[in-house]
């Protein structure tokens, strides 16, 4: 059996646990309600398209969706978010839809989002000869390591020109940020070795975070405000990391974002800068350059490591750790829409703005 370890993102070792705000705010500033919907019955692709259109018409967001077909029947799980009145209307519309389509439906309300521990999301893929206990053994290992599981899917099949049945498993897991990542990986591959599994250790791709939920983070701005991954829910968030205040490239980049700030406002986007400078340095930088968007003082590098932008650098014969200039575009529903690493400053702010506009037209 072969196991592939594929990371959404891999923070550097030594990441500190981050605190996250348990509430999710809409652009109006009210706490949003979440609706967990499970549907089962004779559904097809057309039904799914109609269902998602109904949710959008009620001005709600389908944060997560999972679909699985069994012969002529389909199982669908949705997590919907929106203001209380919009979610209430959506629930009524969904019940009518389910009744017309002859579907079984169960709905659960979540008005208070439980506080989450900072986690590192990963995907584990495994494939090999079909065995009834493969999923059980691996999930038991995750449970013993206190690793959360967001998604688990298994599929058995017989390849062409083969009499052996194979099983394919994919698990999306959340590794606690307090966990020693290197040790966890080592223990996982030891498990594979003990089970006579051929574990292939794949390397992280630089943009593997793209498309995944934004990593949990908390940062303090120049004004002392706390910003986390839910602060700007309902808006585009341009989170850009830069090496140091008042250096030529960083100054130009900040000036470019400031110059285009009215255009970003027009597309419902906010700008937040992050560096490892302290609040006093940020205050001087903002005053000198006339910056009106917030800067996070990431002196402990917790936010920087959560987004995997800390790199080893060399200057004047000395080696040190610092930020690699990077930008992350977070969608209004809290997913990483685009990633720019090793950013070249000229034209970068314009490119980010163009990406948001293009997304709005699609």
- Catalytic residue set: 250
User: How far apart are the C-alpha atoms of 239 and 293, rounded to whole Å?
Assistant: 11
- Round the CA-based radius of gyration of the chain to a whole number and report it: 23
Structure tokens at 234: 């309902």
Distance (Å, whole) CA 202 – CA 189: 12
**What residue has token string 């017989």?**
158
**CA nearest neighbour of 301 among 219, 230, 226:** 219
Six token digits for residue 220: 């303090």
Q: Which residues pair with 170 in a beta bridge?
A: 125, 153
Joined together, the tokens standing for residue 132 give 């009834």
* Nearest Cα residue to 35 out of 122, 93, 115, 118: 93
CB 229 within 8 A of CB 118: no
3-class SS of residue 124: strand
């Amino acid at each position: 059996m072969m196991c592939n370890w594929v990371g959404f993102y891999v923070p550097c070792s030594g990441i500190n646990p981050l605190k996250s705000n348990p509430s999710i705010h809409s652009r109006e500033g009210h706490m949003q309600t979440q609706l967990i919907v499970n549907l089962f019955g004779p559904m097809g692709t057309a039904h799914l398209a109609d269902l998602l259109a109904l949710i959008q018409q009620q001005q709600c967001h389908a944060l997560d969706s999972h679909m699985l077909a069994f012969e002529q029947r389909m199982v669908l799980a949705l997590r919907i978010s929106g203001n209380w009145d919009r979610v209430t209307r959506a629930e009524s519309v969904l019940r009518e839809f389910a009744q017309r389509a002859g579907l079984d439906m169960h709905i659960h309300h979540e008005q208070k989002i439980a506080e989450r521990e900072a986690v590192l999301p990963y995907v584990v893929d495994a494939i090999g000869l079909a065995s009834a206990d493969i999923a059980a053994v691996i999930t038991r290992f995750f449970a013993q390591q206190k690793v959360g599981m967001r998604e688990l899917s298994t599929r058995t099949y017989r390849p062409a020109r083969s009499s052996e049945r194979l099983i394919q498993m994919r698990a999306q897991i959340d590794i606690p940020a307090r966990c020693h990542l290197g040790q966890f990986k080592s223990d996982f591959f030891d498990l594979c070795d003990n089970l006579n599994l051929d574990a292939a250790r794949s390397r992280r791709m630089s943009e593997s975070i793209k498309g995944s939920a934004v990593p949990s983070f908390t940062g303090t701005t120049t004004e002392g405000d706390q910003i986390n991954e839910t602060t700007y829910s309902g808006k585009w968030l341009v989170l850009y990391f830069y090496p140091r205040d008042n250096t030529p490239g960083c100054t130009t980049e900040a000036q470019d974002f400031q110059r285009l700030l009215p255009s970003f406002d027009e597309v419902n986007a906010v700008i937040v800068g992050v560096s490892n400078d302290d609040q006093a340095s940020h205050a001087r930088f903002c005053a000198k350059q006339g910056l009106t968007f917030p800067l996070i003082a990431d002196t402990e590098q917790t936010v920087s490591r959560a987004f995997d932008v800390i790199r080893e650098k060399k200057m004047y014969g000395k080696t040190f750790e610092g930020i690699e200039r990077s930008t992350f575009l977070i969608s209004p529903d809290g997913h990483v829409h685009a990633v720019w690493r090793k950013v070249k400053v000229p034209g970068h702010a314009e490119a980010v703005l163009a990406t948001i506009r293009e997304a709005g037209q699609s």
